[in-house]
Amino acid sequence: MRVEWPTLLLILGCYAAWALALYWLPGISVALAILLAMLAIALHSSLQHEVTHGHPFNERRLGEVLVFPSLNLLIPYLRFRDTHLAHHMDATLTDPYEDPESNYLDPEVWARLPAFHRRVLLINNTLMGRMLLGPLVGQIAFMATDWRLIRAGDRKVLAGWLWHLPPTALILALAAAAPMPLWAYLLACYLGLAILKIRTFLEHQAHERARARTVIIEDRGLLAFLFLNNNLHVVHHMHPKLPWYRLPRIYFNNRDKYLRRNDGYRYASYAEVFRRHLLRAKDPVPHPLYPGS
């Protein structure tokens, strides 16, 4: 059986860092404990993404056992898996209805929103807004969509949430019993999700050609590691079965090919992303190419 040892060892290391943050670091500094827990939570979400695509084992269910409890408390693994795999239909990327991870709205829906709601979404379309408000805005939208599906009789969605409850209760019990204050752990969860919003902020853009909708961010720093090189996003979409540690070599050995593929939708680093979009929206909230726009 195939075993991708870098991924397996990273999963174990992530849990070790999480345990240190809860049970050891608070005796030294609660602030440092929050920082390490935040990083572990963000990394764990990236590892869940890896497992969704069949790593570190060729039998996905084995990997799912390892990452099934969501350290962030809020995103059921089964719901993340199902919506993310639906997102990988490149032909429907950014579609407000067909792409579960799209941040665009149907222009007609946008026109009907109250002024306050629109203002919040406009702020959420800047990088600072996405980090500060994004975890809350995204969670509300995610849960509202799933609630509508459950009320319509979707048992698979309901099962995803019900299976989420026992491991979440276990994580909360472990957090409550730890020297780390519970409020500090909940703050770390929010901050971990805020970090993930940096990755998803401009992964995809509205474009007439599906191949040009997916970004490349040529970063090799801490954020790239926390995102498991998913900043090289067009490579991941073209080769979703490639493990995270092979993406940089594949990309930089074939850089021109991938930049032709996505029509040069590229940023040199996350520093450039912050510089260009911290306070300035990358694009409108209503889908600019959607019928009726």
Give yes or no for a contact between 11 and 47, defined as CB atoms under 8 angstroms apart. yes
What is the structure's pLDDT at 293?
58
Residue 87's DSSP bridge partners are none
Cα–Cα distance, 97 to 232 (Å, whole number):
25
On whether the CB atoms of residues 266 and 218 are closer than 8 A, the answer is yes
Residue 1 has pLDDT above 70, yes or no: no
Is pLDDT at 292 greater than 80 in this prediction?
A: no
CB 68 within 8 A of CB 12: no
What is the token pair recorded at 248?
């940089």
Name the nearest CA neighbour of 205 among 289, 80, 121: 289
- Nearest CA to 282 among 56, 103, 144? 103
Q: What is the pLDDT of residues 111-142, one digit of tens each?
A: 999 999 999 999 999 999 999 999 999 999 99
Q: What is the pLDDT of residue 26?
A: 97
Would you kindly state where each structural domain of the chain is located, as residue ranges? 5-201
Bridge partner list, 84: none
| Cβ pair 25, 14 in contact under 8 A | no
Flag whether pLDDT at 180 surpasses 70. yes
pLDDT for 2:
85
Give the pTM.
0.96
| Nearest Cα residue to 238 out of 216, 268, 266, 253 | 216
Return d(Cα 60, Cα 51) in angstroms, integer. 7
Average pLDDT for the chain: 96
**% of the chain beyond a pLDDT of 70:** 99
